[in-house]
Structure 1
Amino acid sequence: MKKLIYTLAIYFILFIQTVCASYSWVQLTTLSSFERDRATGFSIGDKLYFGTGYINSIASSDFWEYNTLTGTWTQIADIVGNRHGAVGFSNDGKGYICMGHQPIGYVYFNDLQEYNPTSNSWTFKASFPQTGRYGGNAFVIDGTAYIVGGNLGSASGPYSNSMVAYDFATDSWSFKSNYPGTLSYYRTSFTLNGFGYVGSGVKLGPGGYTYYDTFYSYNPISDAWSPIPSYPGGSYAGMTSFVFQQQAFVGLGTDNSFNPNNAFFIYDPTLGIWNPGPTFTNGPLRSHGVGLSTSSRAFFGTGYLSGNSLDDLWELTETLSLHQVNGEAVSILYQNGSFIISGKRSNSGTIEVFNTVGQRIALIESTGDNTVCNLRKGLYIIIYSESNKILFSEKLFIP
């Protein structure tokens, strides 16, 4: 039995190599009035929303909507209060902006504003129950937004590690366990599989700037933080992160020599490891950009480089390397709970469905062109065979 399991494990690893992903960056349409850094944003459906931030060192309040289906930009209603370093998030078809800093007058916001895309209007909600701040983080899990840390003053702080949860249903706040990492700001954050993740960051002390590579995951059920492996690319602040196909992509930012980072690493929550991701060499490197995702696509844009605010927008795309035998043009489409097979060599074949850790979760005999197989949301590996020969293999992502 042990030998059989070992053989299957090797087989799956070899198979994974045949369908390894190749990522590329595609530049999208941008606006001349879009350049900014330390901005924020959120996504609603197939639309991305970017706004606030520094426009060449001047805090702004404007907001823009990008339709990912049509590639068009529309200016929407301004938020109340020019600011940079705010946090943004969305829930149930509405967007939210919280906190931020306006250097003119030394204003540190603790407000929360809700955007309704139907009415194109902002509404004030219950204010953040602590002193105003900027450079914090936010993530959303099951109807609750978690606001973490931030800077309450100048570049040297004071900083905060507090975490406060906002309940969308009751418009109320509650205090949660503090972030356990070193006091800092301009970390990055993301939500993945029901957990929140926060890491990296910078602080200014008597000896100068210190940058961090540590990351922690948050379990909302136990209200507890746990360390995960440190970011393998180095210590950075102002990094960009987004989730794509149930994995987190984290990259860019600057280090303690103010050198920009061109690497992305991918966090796999199932295995608890970081894997090398796609290097960004297509455009200017940056810190303080904005990463956003829809249900099946991922983007980042804006940012700061060498005293300049950036106005570009990029999408991460994936090209799969398919394994086919003897040039057979077999293809499989998954639609409405069924596999639709074209180019079959015979009337009988086998479909195998694996999860990302190599466990086979379905083995189906396919005797026609349409084979029913109800799968939940997630990332899968599909193998189609005839007469014990693999004719098709590919990743399948169900958003």
Structure 2
Amino acid sequence: MMKCFRFSVAIHWLAVPVSTFLLALAGCSNSDSVTPLGDWRRRSDFEGIARQAAAGFVINNVAYVGTGNNADNERLRDMWSYDATRNTWTQIADFAGSARQAATGFSVGTKGYIGTGLNENSDRLNDFYEYDPASNQWRRIADYAGTARRNAVAFTIGNKGYVGTGFDGNYLKDFYAYDPATNTWTRTASFSGSKRLGAVAFVLNNLGYVVTGNNNGTAQKDVWAYDPTQDTWIEKDKFTDEETVARSYGVAFTLNNKAYVLLGDGNNTVWEYDPAADAWADKNTFEGSNRLYSCGFALNNKAYVTTGSVGTSVLDDLWEYDPSLERDDDN
């Protein structure tokens, strides 16, 4: 359901590192009619084999996606880059670590990073690797300083990447910052919400947000923002209007100072967060299949969702959201 607001907003869209994206804004007329803006269209399918629980990052308006597991639950290590301008996928050097799923990724400057996750034997991992697109090479960096884990979250603020939460046999809330200049991990303030895995993360105004996730079988809808200058977490407005927004294994993006959360074990509704108002609003719906364990990224003022799973089926489709187009529900 679209909602009508008294303030005026032009829809602006998403740009992200490992984390962030989506949906349309509606305008309100004097007669309270709503004209949705923003539309989805199918784009070039992910060129690797279909998969779920992949990881990735964005560097210089190019998205990098790989690892994960296929329909036979085999772990993968192939990596692919997506150029939205040409709408093409290109295979890059395989991930240097062992094949894995449920890893996490982020980028700092011109380098990308992937680590943690589950290997072929379902062992939890704490190794991390750096990718340099200029040389198309991976190298191992310092191991993650926390326990080996899966389904953690990551975000980037300034020249550091932050990784935390997840599952190591127990639900977790610890966080560590990685500094590429010194190749070191430093313990930061633990997440102030409840422990969780399968959350999403995004960055707005130099604050790192962690939203949703699962804690001991209960889907979460609280919202917390990390301030690296104070090393503190600040509680923000929860998803209070609808019970259906609590979820895990979704995706999130930011664009032009708004954040968007969708998919996972919730529904196809896209939720928009406005940090200025500290408020959430429901927007149009994602037009592909509702899915778990998908990847999302934003490039050139458009947002993308790819891979994931629906039931026992794994996916390789790619969907693009363009906020400048009028919604066409006949497509």
The partner residue of 1:97 within 97, 105, 114 is 114
> Could you give the per-residue CA deviations for residues 56-109 of structure 1, whole angstroms, max 9, x where no partner exists?
1221111111111111111111112111111111121111102111141x4221
* 1:179 counterpart letter in structure 2: F
Which one has more relative contact order, counting CA pairs under 8 Å at least 6 apart? 2
Work out whether residues 21 and 318 of structure 1, in 8 Å CA contact, stay in contact via their aligned partners in 2: no
Q: Verify: 1:197 aligned to 2:209, yes or no.
A: yes
Question: In the alignment, is residue 121 of structure 1 matched against residue 137 of structure 2?
Answer: yes
Report the equivalent of 2:256: 245
Q: 1:166 to 1:11 in 2, by over 3 A?
A: closer
**Aligned equivalent of 2:288:** 283
Q: Is the 8 A contact 1:49 1:66 kept in 2?
A: yes
- Contact kept in structure 1, 2:102 and 2:151, CA below 8 Å: yes
- Structure 1: state its 5+ residue gaps: 1-9, 256-260, 322-399
> Is residue 46–residue 69 contact of structure 1 (8 Å, CA) maintained in 2?
no
Quote the Cα distance in structure 2 between the aligned partners of 1:32 and 1:43.
17
TM-fit CA distance, 1:286: 0.3
Task: State how far apart, in whole Å, the 2-side matches of 1:94 and 1:50 are.
Answer: 14
Q: Which residue of 1 aligns with 2:3?
A: none
**How many angstroms apart in 2 are the aligned matches of 1:228 and 1:200?**
12
1:228 & 1:44 partners in 2: Cα distance?
29
Contact 1:243 1:298 in 2 (8 A): no
Distance in 2 separating the partners of 1:72 and 1:12: 36
Using the alignment, how far apart are the partners of 2:131 and 2:237 within structure 1? 36
In percent, how many aligned pairs have the same letter? 32
Contact kept, 8 Å, 2:164 with 2:175, in 1: the verdict is yes
* Residue matched to 1:149: 165
Residues 288 and 319 in structure 2, CA contact (< 8 A), matched pair in contact too: no
How many residue pairs are counted as aligned between the two chains?
297
Equivalent position of 2:316 in the other structure: 311
Cα deviation digits, residues 262-316 of structure 1 (max 9, x gap): 1111001111111222211x22110111111235332121111111111111111
Amino acid in the other structure paired with 2:295: V
Aligned to 1:131: 147
Alignment partner of 1:230 is 2:238:
yes
Pick closer, same or farther for the CA change 1:191–1:84 going to 2, 3 Å: same
1:171 is matched with 183
1:265 to 255, 260, 271: 271
Structure 2 residue identity aligned to 1:142 = G
**Structure 2 vs 1, CA of residues 121 and 210 (structure 1 numbering), >3 Å: closer, same or farther?**
same
Q: What is the aligned counterpart of 2:64 among 41, 44, 49?
A: 49
Native 8 Å contact 1:150 1:184 kept in 2: yes
Which amino acid in structure 1 is aligned with residue 248 of structure 2?
A: A
Amino acid paired to 1:174: T
Q: Which runs of 5+ in 2 are unaligned?
A: 1-5, 10-26, 327-331
> Displacement, 1:12?
6.1
Change (3 A) 1:131 1:25: same
What is the alpha-carbon distance in structure 2 between the residues aligned to residue 300 and residue 45 of structure 1?
18
Contact 1:44 / 1:294 at 8 angstroms: preserved in 2? no
Aligned CA-pair RMSD: 2.2
Which of 30, 40, 54 lines up with 1:25 in the alignment?
40
CA drift of 1:234 comes to 2.5
Residue 20 of structure 2 is matched in structure 1 by none
Q: 1:295 to 1:177 in 2, by over 3 A?
A: farther
Aligned counterparts of 1:211 and 1:320: Cα–Cα separation in 2: 33
Q: Which has the higher strand share?
A: 1
User: Could you tell me which residue of structure 1 aligns to residue 80 of structure 2?
Assistant: 64
Are positions 1:220 and 2:237 aligned together?
no
Q: Distance in 1 between matches of 2:325 and 2:48?
A: 36
SS of 1:275's partner is: strand
Would the alpha carbon gap of residues 184 and 318 (structure 1) be closer, same or farther in structure 2, given more than 3 Å must change? same
The code of the aligned residue for 1:87 comes to: T
Please state how far the C-alpha of 1:32 moved relative to its aligned partner.
Answer: 5.6
Q: Is the 8 A contact 1:45 1:295 kept in 2?
A: no
- Report whether the alignment pairs 1:108 with 2:124: yes
1:86 aligns with 2:103: yes
Distance (whole Å) between structure 2 residues aligned to residue 116 and residue 11 of structure 1: 44
Letter in 2 for 1:319: S
